[in-house]
Amino acid sequence: MEARVKWIEDERFSAVATSGHAVIMDASNPKQGSSPLEYLLMALCGCTASDVVSILKKKREPFTSLEVSAVGERANDHPKVFTKIALLYRVEGPVSRKSVEDAVRLSKEKYCSVSAMLAKTAEITTAIALTADKT
């Protein structure tokens, strides 16, 4: 896997990785793209969401929607790493709460590479909001 950024102007870059899909990465004001740390939180959400979807499908759970959101707190001093991250999993459909809890736990403890890296500096907490819970 590889990635590169190319400076555009100010603190704005075009970023591209092995997949070939480019995004704008922007630390200037006003922003024309997400900042590097915003992309890091999005990567965490995407990584764990992929795991949870895969696990719920394998368990044949009939979810109809999944959304993962993250709120991060950063250190006051440089490097301003994330020190706390709260993840919220919103799942819709007649799914078992235990299945969702198991999927979230497995993602955090075993599968999500982004979570494993961020856990070196941040306390990562999880919460689950279910609609149509069949417990």
Query: How far apart (Å, rounded) are the C-alpha atoms in residues 105 and 107?
Result: 5
Q: Residue ranges of the alpha helices (H) in the chain?
A: 36-58, 97-106, 113-118
pTM of this structure:
0.93
CATH code 2.20.25 region(s) in the chain: 1-34
Q: Give per-residue pLDDT as tens, 36-88.
A: 999 999 999 999 999 999 999 999 999 999 999 999 999 999 999 999 999 99
**Domain 1-34 coded CATH 1.10.1760:** no
Tell the CATH topology of 36-131.
GMP Synthetase; Chain A, domain 3 (3.30.300)
The confidence band for 134, taking pLDDT boundaries of 50, 70 and 90, is low
Query: How far apart (Å, rounded) are the C-alpha atoms in residues 84 and 75?
Result: 9
Query: How far apart (Å, rounded) are the C-alpha atoms in residues 4 and 17?
Result: 6
The confidence band for 124, taking pLDDT boundaries of 50, 70 and 90, is very high
